[in-house]
Chains A and B, each alone.
Chain A
Amino acid sequence: MKKKIGVYVCHCGGNISDHVDIEKVKAAVRDEADVYLVKNTLFACADSSQKEIGSDIENEHLDAIVVASCSPKLHLNTFRGVAQRAGLNPYNYVQVNIREQSSWAHSDNKTGATEKAILLVKAGIAKAKESEALQSLKIPAANVVAVIGAGVGGMKTAIGLADMGTEVYLIEKDFFVGGRTPQWGTVSPNGDEGAILTEKLYKEVVRRPNITLFTGAELVEKSGSIGNFDLKIALRPRFVSGNPSTEAMQRAAEACPVAVKDDFNFGLTNRRAFMLPAQGQFPQVPAIDQSACTRCGECTAACHEVDLTQEVQTITLHVGAFVVNTGFDPYQPAQGEYGYGELDNVITLPQFRRLMEMNESELVFNGKKIKKIAYIYCVGSRQDDDEGNTYCSRYCCTATSLTAVLAKKKFGNIINFHFNRGIRTYGKHELVYEAASKQGDIFLQFSLKSIPQIEKRGNKTYVKVKDILTAGKELETEADLIVLVTGMVPRKNELLAQQLKIPTGRDHFFNEIHMKLRPVETVIDGVLIAGTCQSPKNILETVNSSMAAAAKINSVLTKGELSLEPTLAKVNPAACDWCDNCSKACPFDAILQTEINGKKVARVNESNCKGCGMCTPVCPTDAIDLAGYTNAQVESMIDALAEA
Chain B
Amino acid sequence: MEIQQETCINESLYDVLVIGAGIAGEESALKLADMGYRVLLVEKEPSIGGKMILLSKVFPTLDCAACITTPKVSETARHPNITILTLTEVEEIVRDTKNRFSVTLKKKPRYVVEKDCTGCQECEKACPAIVNDQFQFNLTARKAVYIPFTIANPRVALIDIDNCLLCGACEKACPSNCIDFTQKEEQLKITAKSVIVSTGFKLFDPIQIERYGFGRYKNVITSMQMERQLAPTRPFNNILRPSDGKVPDKIAYVFCAGSRDHTVGNPICSQVCCMYSTKQAQLLMGALPMADVSLYYINIRAFGKGFDEFYEQAKDMGAKYVKGKIASITEKENGNLILRYEDIATGKVTEKEHDLVVLSVGILANPGITRVFKKERLETDALNYIRQTDLLQSPAITSIEGVFAAGTATAPMDIPDTIMSAGAAATETSSYLARLS
Please list the residues of chain A having a beta carbon within 8 angstroms of any beta carbon in chain B: 12-15, 42-43, 45-48, 50, 70, 74-75, 78, 85, 152, 156, 160, 163-165, 187-188, 190, 192, 197, 200-201, 382, 390-392, 394, 397, 422-431, 434, 468-472, 507, 509, 514-517, 519-520, 534-536, 539-541, 543-552, 554-556, 558
In the bound assembly, the distance between CA atoms of A197 and B394 in angstroms comes to 11
Q: Given known contacts A12-B64, A13-B233, A516-B416, is B269 in contact with A429 (CB within 8 Å)?
A: yes
Near A by CB (< 8 A), chain B positions 153-175 give 153-155
- Across the interface, name the chain A residue whose C-beta is closest to B388: A540
On whether the beta carbons of A551 and B419 are closer than 8 Å, the reply is no
On whether the beta carbons of B67 and A549 are closer than 8 Å, the reply is no
On whether the beta carbons of B392 and A47 are closer than 8 Å, the reply is no
On whether the beta carbons of A547 and B58 are closer than 8 Å, the reply is no
In the bound assembly, the distance between CA atoms of A165 and B437 in angstroms comes to 12
Interface segment out of the listed B5-13, B30-38, B137-145: B30-38
On whether the beta carbons of A197 and B393 are closer than 8 Å, the reply is yes
The answer, yes or no, to whether B299 is at the interface (CB within 8 Å) is yes
Inside 8 A of B419's CB, which chain A residues have their CB? 516, 519, 548
Inside 8 A of A548's CB, which chain B residues have their CB? 419-424, 426-427
In the bound assembly, the distance between CA atoms of A257 and B72 in angstroms comes to 61
The answer, yes or no, to whether B344 is at the interface (CB within 8 Å) is yes
Inside 8 A of B34's CB, which chain A residues have their CB? 555-556
Near A by CB (< 8 A), chain B positions 408-437 give 411-413, 415-417, 419-424, 426-428, 430-431, 434-435
In the bound assembly, the distance between CA atoms of A468 and B323 in angstroms comes to 9
Q: Contacts A514-B68, A544-B420 known; list 14 others, CB within 8 Å.
A: A43-B66, A47-B154, A48-B151, A78-B74, A164-B431, A382-B308, A424-B299, A430-B268, A515-B61, A543-B395, A544-B395, A548-B419, A549-B423, A551-B423
In the bound assembly, the distance between CA atoms of A635 and B93 in angstroms comes to 63
On whether the beta carbons of B391 and A424 are closer than 8 Å, the reply is no
- Across the interface, name the chain A residue whose C-beta is closest to B270: A427
On whether the beta carbons of B303 and A394 are closer than 8 Å, the reply is yes
User: Closest CB of chain A to B419's CB: distance in Å?
Assistant: 6
Inside 8 A of A517's CB, which chain B residues have their CB? 68, 71-72
On whether the beta carbons of A427 and B413 are closer than 8 Å, the reply is yes
In the bound assembly, the distance between CA atoms of A431 and B391 in angstroms comes to 16
On whether the beta carbons of B36 and A558 are closer than 8 Å, the reply is yes
The answer, yes or no, to whether B309 is at the interface (CB within 8 Å) is yes
In the bound assembly, the distance between CA atoms of A394 and B424 in angstroms comes to 21
In the bound assembly, the distance between CA atoms of A216 and B361 in angstroms comes to 50
In the bound assembly, the distance between CA atoms of A38 and B133 in angstroms comes to 33
On whether the beta carbons of A547 and B423 are closer than 8 Å, the reply is yes
Near A by CB (< 8 A), chain B positions 284-338 give 299-309, 312, 323
Partner of A47, one of B36, B74, B309, B413: B74
On whether the beta carbons of B267 and A70 are closer than 8 Å, the reply is no
In the bound assembly, the distance between CA atoms of A603 and B304 in angstroms comes to 48
The answer, yes or no, to whether B366 is at the interface (CB within 8 Å) is no
The answer, yes or no, to whether B399 is at the interface (CB within 8 Å) is no
Inside 8 A of B308's CB, which chain A residues have their CB? 382, 390-392
Inside 8 A of B392's CB, which chain A residues have their CB? 152, 187-188, 192, 197, 539-540, 543
Inside 8 A of A472's CB, which chain B residues have their CB? 345
Inside 8 A of A544's CB, which chain B residues have their CB? 395, 417, 420-421, 423-424
The answer, yes or no, to whether B232 is at the interface (CB within 8 Å) is yes
- Across the interface, name the chain B residue whose C-beta is closest to A69: B67
The answer, yes or no, to whether B271 is at the interface (CB within 8 Å) is yes
The answer, yes or no, to whether B128 is at the interface (CB within 8 Å) is no
In the bound assembly, the distance between CA atoms of A507 and B305 in angstroms comes to 9
Inside 8 A of B31's CB, which chain A residues have their CB? 551-552, 555
Near A by CB (< 8 A), chain B positions 187-222 give none
- Across the interface, name the chain B residue whose C-beta is closest to A423: B299
On whether the beta carbons of A554 and B35 are closer than 8 Å, the reply is yes
Inside 8 A of B151's CB, which chain A residues have their CB? 42-43, 46, 48
In the A-B complex, list the 6 residue pairs whose CB atoms are closest, starting with the nearest.
A13-B232, A548-B423, A471-B347, A163-B431, A547-B424, A555-B34
In the bound assembly, the distance between CA atoms of A469 and B298 in angstroms comes to 11
Partner of A430, one of B233, B267, B348, B426: B267
9 CB < 8 A contacts A-B: A12-B64, A46-B151, A192-B391, A390-B309, A391-B305, A431-B267, A507-B305, A509-B305, A548-B426
Inside 8 A of A152's CB, which chain B residues have their CB? 392
In the bound assembly, the distance between CA atoms of A156 and B431 in angstroms comes to 12
Inside 8 A of A514's CB, which chain B residues have their CB? 68
Inside 8 A of B434's CB, which chain A residues have their CB? 163-165
Near A by CB (< 8 A), chain B positions 97-152 give 119, 150-151
On whether the beta carbons of A558 and B305 are closer than 8 Å, the reply is no
- Across the interface, name the chain B residue whose C-beta is closest to A200: B393
Please list the residues of chain B having a beta carbon within 8 angstroms of any beta carbon in chain A: 31, 34-36, 58, 61, 63-64, 66-68, 70-74, 77-78, 119, 150-151, 153-155, 231-233, 260, 267-271, 299-309, 312, 323, 344-348, 383, 391-396, 411-413, 415-417, 419-424, 426-428, 430-431, 434-435
Inside 8 A of A536's CB, which chain B residues have their CB? 305
In the bound assembly, the distance between CA atoms of A624 and B78 in angstroms comes to 39
In the bound assembly, the distance between CA atoms of A48 and B312 in angstroms comes to 39
User: Closest CB of chain B to A434's CB: distance in Å?
Assistant: 7
On whether the beta carbons of A541 and B323 are closer than 8 Å, the reply is no
Inside 8 A of A187's CB, which chain B residues have their CB? 392
In the bound assembly, the distance between CA atoms of A78 and B70 in angstroms comes to 10
- Across the interface, name the chain B residue whose C-beta is closest to A192: B392
On whether the beta carbons of B232 and A15 are closer than 8 Å, the reply is yes
Partner of A516, one of B68, B233, B312, B428: B68
- Across the interface, name the chain B residue whose C-beta is closest to A201: B393
In the bound assembly, the distance between CA atoms of A470 and B347 in angstroms comes to 7
In the bound assembly, the distance between CA atoms of A471 and B344 in angstroms comes to 6
Inside 8 A of B396's CB, which chain A residues have their CB? 547
Inside 8 A of A201's CB, which chain B residues have their CB? 393
In the bound assembly, the distance between CA atoms of A191 and B68 in angstroms comes to 39
In the bound assembly, the distance between CA atoms of A554 and B31 in angstroms comes to 9
- Across the interface, name the chain A residue whose C-beta is closest to B412: A427
User: Closest CB of chain B to A54's CB: distance in Å?
Assistant: 10
- Across the interface, name the chain B residue whose C-beta is closest to A420: B299
User: Closest CB of chain B to A165's CB: distance in Å?
Assistant: 6
On whether the beta carbons of A519 and B36 are closer than 8 Å, the reply is no
Inside 8 A of A85's CB, which chain B residues have their CB? 78
In the bound assembly, the distance between CA atoms of A423 and B256 in angstroms comes to 14
Inside 8 A of B426's CB, which chain A residues have their CB? 548, 551
In the bound assembly, the distance between CA atoms of A160 and B427 in angstroms comes to 6
Inside 8 A of B394's CB, which chain A residues have their CB? 543
On whether the beta carbons of A428 and B64 are closer than 8 Å, the reply is no
Q: Given known contacts A42-B150, A47-B73, A555-B31, is B305 in contact with A534 (CB within 8 Å)?
A: yes
Q: Which of A45, A544, A552 has the most CB of B within 10 A?
A: A544
- Across the interface, name the chain A residue whose C-beta is closest to B346: A471
Q: Given known contacts A427-B411, A552-B31, is B347 in contact with A519 (CB within 8 Å)?
A: no
Partner of B77, one of A47, A156, A540: A47
Inside 8 A of B323's CB, which chain A residues have their CB? 468
In the bound assembly, the distance between CA atoms of A12 and B151 in angstroms comes to 11
User: Closest CB of chain A to B120's CB: distance in Å?
Assistant: 11
